[in-house]
């Protein structure tokens, strides 16, 4: 099964930039999108409608956040949120259950400038860890999405300049360490431990993408028991249309 994840930074805008053709070229069985910034009734699109299974979780706030899972494979069940009202208004999580695993699509909150939202981010990290850990007690878990953290110095172009920046603070990195410590593996880094200059997000400023001054903040992580079945984990920087690029895994 091929799984693809992409923060599209606006579903309607990215559809206008060839999302359908680009995703058809990648040929996922399941596609996880983040930051869709739309409700389903706002998007009349034949390509989206061609997917037989979908779970939308838009934010209550218009034009903000939101996640969507599209699947060619019939899920056993679907759900939205993590079951905690204080965290479930911003459209950040959707889950599909398949025979062998749960798939969780996540758009993690950004800590914002000067880490203004870091306290909430730390609450979120703990709550999300509890959510996926709870699922993992039933069957293995795959979670993916824009997790808004570069875990190690190898995961961003300029670590020395960003130790107090959102996405690379000590607290956020420790939160991700704890998430992996709960029994999950970062598939890309596991398969490519020494690969440098592999990024999934670039600022729109200063020609960052052309110069590959980026961050790896988009992930596929899996329960340890699933890792032997992960055949590949790939970043697709050639796919444009957002400030992020897609990432993918193939699970046997």
Instruction: Supply the residues annotated as catalytic.
Output: 107, 146
Cα gap 15→8, rounded to integer Å: 9
Cα gap 135→142, rounded to integer Å: 10
Quote the tokens at residue 151: 């875990």
Query: Which sign, positive or negative, has the C-alpha torsion 64, 105, 201, 129?
Result: positive
3-state SS, residue 77: strand
Q: Are strands 2-7 and 30-34 parallel, antiparallel or unpaired?
A: parallel
3-state SS, residue 231: strand
Classify residue 200 as exposed, middle or buried by CB count within 10 Å of its CB (0-12, 13-18, 19+): buried
Cβ-based neighbour number of residue 13 at 10 Å: 14
At 187, which helix (H) or strand (E)? Answer: helix 187-191
Distance of CA 65 to the CA centre of its chain: 12
User: DSSP assignment, residue 160?
Assistant: G
């Amino acid at each position: 099964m091929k799984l693809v994840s992409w923060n599209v930074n606006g579903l309607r805008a990215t559809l206008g930039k060839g999302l359908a053709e680009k995703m058809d070229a990648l040929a996922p069985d399941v596609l996880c999108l983040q930051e869709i910034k739309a409700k389903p009734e706002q998007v009349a699109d034949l390509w989206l409608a061609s997917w037989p299974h979908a779970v939308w979780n838009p934010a209550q706030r218009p034009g903000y956040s939101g996640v969507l899972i599209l699947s060619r494979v019939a899920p056993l069940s679907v759900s939205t949120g993590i079951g905690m009202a204080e965290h479930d208004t911003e459209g950040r999580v959707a889950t599909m259950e398949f025979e062998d695993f749960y798939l969780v699509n996540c758009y993690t909150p950004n800590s914002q400038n000067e880490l203004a939202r870091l306290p909430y981010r730390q609450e979120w990290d703990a709550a999300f860890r509890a959510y996926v850990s709870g699922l993992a007690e039933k069957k293995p878990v795959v979670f993916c999405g824009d997790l808004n953290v570069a875990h190690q110095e190898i995961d961003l172009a300029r670590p020395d300049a960003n130790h107090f920046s959102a996405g690379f603070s000590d607290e956020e990195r420790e939160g991700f360490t704890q998430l992996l410590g709960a029994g999950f593996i970062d598939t890309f880094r596991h398969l490519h431990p020494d690969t440098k200059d592999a990024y999934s997000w670039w600022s729109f400023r200063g020609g960052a993408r052309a110069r590959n001054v980026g961050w790896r903040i988009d992930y596929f992580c899996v329960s340890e028991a699933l890792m032997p079945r992960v055949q590949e984990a790939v970043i697709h920087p050639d796919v444009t249309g957002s400030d992020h690029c897609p990432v993918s895994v193939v699970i046997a």
